[in-house]
């Protein structure tokens, strides 16, 4: 396994991190199609991940109504010191009006509940899971700062926020000398390179880690789906749900998949492994979160850290997946500085 720094902290995290959305939820109306893994299966996946050198594990209080955290906490057991443990909050976790959001009330409640379910005294990376348009960011950041000062949280981060929202939060934290975000978790894949417009430049400028969720676009980039709907994996979440959780143009998706398969064939590896290796070769990416239902899926994903794509591979994948520049990115490119320093005229 290879490791990269978590933002501007001194903490090293594995290039591949383990996602836990597949843990639990056997009777849940939504999560039962995500994997619905029981304790024995979770123990096997977590043990394999840790033995392979993965030290970064991500979950959320909303996954399977908290069952994911419970199963993960038991699976980690005595190996807690081997794990940089991340969880998230904002989504509804109960029927009450205050059982969601990013108010101080809910932040404190949600943190205590996650600590209990995970059977730990502290969270290494506590992340807000989305933007709360009702709660002032000052209130949320103050509550998170208190959690850090109490020793219940080591670092804080965000997920699914826009670049301006993260930048504003960083400014508020700096103004009040509070703990600030060190990482952002975002959707990024060969089928959606939207993050490159603002989130990637912002992360580089601010020194934030970028962790990636859904690197295989809901399983589409595994290459197990063909035009016309045929699949070699009928029990997959994509096949069972009948819809794509992450939106993309299907025809362009198959164009990307054609190139992905060609690159994979050159290296004699799976398309999934290539898709993850491509992400690890991109600017600002710190870790790619993989969520598996089967052990062989996890081991194949882990092997992506040892796959080095050639310049030809990267150029072909970039060409077929590139997104059109959005305003103002395209016009700023027109006015990029070309002048030379005084005394060094061309």
Residue 63 annotated in active site: yes
Strands 181-187 and 209-213: parallel
d(CA 303, CA 305): 5
Residue 216: Cβ-neighbour burial (10 angstroms; 0-12, 13-18, 19+)? buried
Q: Say which of 3, 31, 63, 187 is annotated catalytic.
A: 63
The 3-class SS string of 32-93 reads: HHCCCECHHHHHHHHHHHHHCCCCEEECCCCHHHHHHHHHHHHHHHHHHHHCEEEEEECCCC
Three-state DSSP class for 163? Answer: helix
Handedness of CA 229, 271, 295, 125 (dihedral sign): negative
Among residues 85, 38, 78, the alpha carbon closest in space to that of 61 is found at 85
Tokens, residue 39: 């304790």
Q: List, by residue number, the catalytic residues.
A: 63
């Amino acid at each position: 396994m290879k490791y990269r720094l978590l933002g501007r902290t001194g903490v090293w995290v594995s290039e591949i991190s383990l996602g836990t959305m597949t843990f639990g939820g056997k009777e849940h109306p939504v999560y039962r199609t995500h994997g619905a893994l029981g304790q024995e299966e979770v123990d096997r996946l977590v043990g394999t991940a840790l033995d392979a050198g993965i030290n970064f594990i991500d979950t959320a209080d909303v996954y399977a109504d908290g069952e994911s955290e419970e199963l993960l906490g038991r699976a980690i057991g005595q190996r807690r010191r081997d794990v940089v443990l991340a969880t998230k909050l904002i989504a509804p976790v109960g029927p009450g009006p205050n059982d969601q959001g990013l108010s101080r009330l809910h932040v404190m409640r949600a943190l205590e509940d996650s600590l209990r379910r995970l059977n730990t005294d502290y969270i290494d990376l506590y992340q807000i899971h989305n933007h709360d348009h009702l709660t002032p960011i000052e209130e949320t950041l103050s509550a998170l700062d208190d959690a850090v000062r109490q020793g219940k949280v080591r670092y804080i981060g965000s997920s699914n926020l826009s670049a301006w929202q993260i930048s504003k939060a960083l400014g508020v934290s700096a103004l009040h000398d509070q703990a600030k975000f060190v990482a952002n978790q975002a959707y990024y894949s060969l089928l959606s390179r939207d993050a490159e417009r603002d989130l990637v430049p912002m992360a580089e400028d601010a020194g934030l880690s970028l962790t990636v969720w859904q690197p295989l676009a809901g399983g589409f980039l595994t290459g197990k789906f063909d035009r016309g709907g045929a699949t070699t994996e009928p029990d997959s979440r994509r096949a069972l749900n009948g819809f794509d959780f992450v939106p993309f143009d299907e025809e362009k998706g198959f164009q990307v998949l054609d190139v992905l398969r060609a690159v994979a064939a050159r290296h004699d590896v799976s398309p999934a492994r290539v898709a993850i290796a491509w992400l690890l070769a991109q600017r600002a990416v710190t870790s790619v979160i993989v969520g598996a239902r089967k052990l062989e899926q996890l081991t194949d994903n882990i092997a992506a850290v040892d796959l080095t794509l050639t310049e030809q591979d990267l150029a072909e994948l970039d060409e077929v997946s590139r997104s059109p520049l959005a305003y103002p990115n395209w016009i700023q490119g027109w006015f990029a500085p070309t002048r030379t320093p005084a005394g060094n005229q061309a």
